[in-house]
Structure formats: structure tokens, C-alpha cells
Structure 1
Amino acid sequence: MFLPYQKMYILNLVLFSLSLFSSFAFASEIDWQNNAAEHIRLNIILFINLGLLILILFFSFRHIKRLKRLNVTITNESLTDPLTKVLNRKGFHEQVSRLDEQSGFLLIADIDNFKLINDRFGHNAGDKVLQRVAHALRVQTREKDIVGRYGGEEFVVFFPSNDVETVKKISHRLVVAIANLNLNDISPELQRVTISAGVDKGDTKLSKFERLYENADQLLYKAKAAGKNQVIVFDN
């Protein structure tokens, strides 16, 4: 299947070929020595065809650029969570699947008592909390780390690294940074938001990712049971 801009490019080539063919076919029938008028007429036809071709190509290339930009925009929107601007679940899995590394650490984080925040301060405040947490996750992680919103108040971070000590430091830094967020502009009564998180190491292949997710999720619930506002990292 061809993309729209590829079809347009092919159409232009066909039109150009037909134009040249018709011009040369006409030229082959002319007696050049005894028919100066036809010579002039052919030059006019070629000039008009050339002008039309330039116009067609000019507007086609402009349209192709617009289609490419639109395609990139649509693709990005389909992979990004519209509220928090981090990757959505689909985008997260696509990014992880493209990694050269065969293994890494998955962090699953859940905002503590998020339902109470929504109930007390309203869903608009809850949305702002989600945005602040997502921003903190992006700021506190490395450029190569992959951050996504998995759904609701649950976020995920994939660390393409086998260095457990580095992952521990970043994970604990995330918990502290989110607990220290200034939320007064959302509501003076909203003093603090915290997260609980679990981290486990596993394979990046989708067939094994579900197992990795389940293991990290179990560690997340252990962090919740242990008092929340903390991260538990599995360490062999």
C-alpha cells in the first residue's frame, strides 16, 4: 500500500511521462525543413507543458510536506497521553521494543491515595497532580529512560540498564522529588502527594514483559503495605 504523498508523486511522474511522449510523438510527424509554423507550435506546446509540470511539482511537493508533518503529528498523538504528555501504554511498549538492550529495570509507580485527592479537591485538581507527577518523573530520570502513563494514576519507567545501584538511586530520588512537590497553586490544603513504587529486572521482549510487569507490580503493593511513599527494588 502506498501512502497518499507517494501516490501523488507517482501520479506526477505518469503525467510528466505522458506529456513528454505526446510532445515527441507530435515532433516525429513534422517536416522540419518545410514547416516552420509547426516548429514554432511544438516549441509553444513544450513550453506550456514544462510550465504546467513545474507548477504541478511545486504544489505537489508542498502538499507532500504537509502530509508528512500531519502524519508525524498523528503518530505522536497516538503514542502520547494527552493529559500528561508522557507516553501512553502503546507508546511506552513501542519505545521499549525498539531498545538495543535486551534487558533492564521496570519501575511501576502509583500515586498514593489518589482517589481521596479527587474526592476532596475535585478531578481538575487530580488532573494537575497527574501532570506534576509526570513532569517530575521526566525531570528526575535520564534522557535514555522511558517514561509513560500506564493508566489512571499509574506510571511506568523503563531503565535500559543492568546497574542496579544506579536504578536504586534514581528510583529513590523520584520518590523524594514527588513528595517535595509544591502544590499550593493547586490547593493550599493539598500539602503533599506521594508515590509507592516497585522495581524489577527483566527482558524487554513483549512475550516476557508481562511477567516483568507482574513482578514489579507485586513489589509496588509491598511498598503500599509497608506504609507507602517508598520504593522497593528487587535485587538478586
Structure 2
Amino acid sequence: MQLCGTAVLLASALASCRAFTGVRPLVVPRAPAAHARLRHVSSSSDHPLGSGSARARATGPAPNVVRFSSPFEDVEHGDNDDEVDMMQREAEQLEAMIRGSRGIVVEAIEREWREEMLRVLGEEGEMLCSLAYEGYLDRGRGVIFVNVDMGLSSSNKGHDGAPCHSVFCSLEEVVTERSSRVKPADQMQIIRRCQEYDPEAGFVLVFGYKGMLGVQVIRPSMAPGEVFRSRRT
């Protein structure tokens, strides 16, 4: 993965995500001794982007489900009141089933998202930490943006021509990014973490997978500067 941060790549990566989400505090499995061991730093500010809860939120009706507001508006009340009430109850039950099914689907995707983030941190955590510190030295504060979906496309290339799904984005690029897919409140959460983290102690990871995007503060057991220098020797 290369230090190939550009506003263009950031914009295309954000546009590829359907929604923002975050995760509960996580403990990253310890990597082999030769690698920088990473652990997630929990804080009171860790919560889903654009939401006050710790659960991913659905973003629209469930697939292949026809939504309706009220199919009973033209029904005259009178002798058929009992039938109308029964139909209303059935409609409410159907709506509850739709919401429940959508929640199950979202939770399943969120679980896959967490597992993929842990996998990437376990395999590439040292590289991402070094990349974050290199970007900090060159361009100041910023975030590491990892979009696994983009990395699957051969059209996304790093400076060496290899597939690139990780990129350092400076704070300035994050602030000036404009996308119809990104709500201002979500963008502000990324900016706030970018402004508050300690570059000498950790880095900010924005991770996208299967259309879900979350922001985490990662703190390695080795200082990022040490990780960076160890990879250059």
C-alpha cells in the first residue's frame, strides 16, 4: 500500500459507501512479535456515525419489499370496523417484520465489517501505522482511509501500480471533501477525531467494507514513530 492520498480517491471512496457506521470498543488480537501490536482505544465518543446508539442503522427499505403508508384511507367505517381494525393490525405486524428483518441484515453486515477490520489490522496494522506516521510527517494531521471494496478493483492503483485500498488523507482534505453521500454530522465526527488524536501515540482509521464505514482511533503498543523508523531500516 502506498502513500497515495488525493482528494479524488477520497471522494470516490466515500461515494462508494452507502452509509456510515461505527462499532463498539474493540480489542484487536495481538499480532506476531515481529509486528506492531495494535489495540483499539475506547472512549466515550465511540459511537456510530450519524447515530447516538452503538448499533448500525438501516438506510432505506428492505430489498424487494413494497412499502405503503396507509391502505385503509378509502375504507368507510361502520359495519366493517372490526375488519378494518384487523387489517390495520396485520399491516402493523407486517411493518414490524420488515423492520426486524432489516435489522437482522444490518447486524450481519456489521459483524462481517468488524471481522474484516480485525483481519486487516492483524495482517496490515504495522504498515497502516507506518503509513499514518509518514503522512503526518509530510502533511500534518490526517486519517488512514481503508476501503476494502475499492481494493478489489484493479482500477484503483497506488504509486507503484499495485492495487491500492489504503490512503492517507490530510485533515485539510477531509475538511474540504464534499459529497452528497456524506452527512455533515458524519464528516464532523471524522474531523473531530483527526483533530484530537495524538500522532505520536496512535492514528485514526476510517474503515469501509460492504458499504459500511466507521472511524476508529488505533493505538499501537509501539509508538507510530518507532514503527515508521523500524520499517525504513
TM-score (norm 1): 0.33
Whose relative contact order is higher, 1 or 2, with alpha carbons under 8 Å and at least 6 apart? Answer: 2
Structure (1/2) with the larger helix percentage: 1
TM-score (norm 2): 0.33
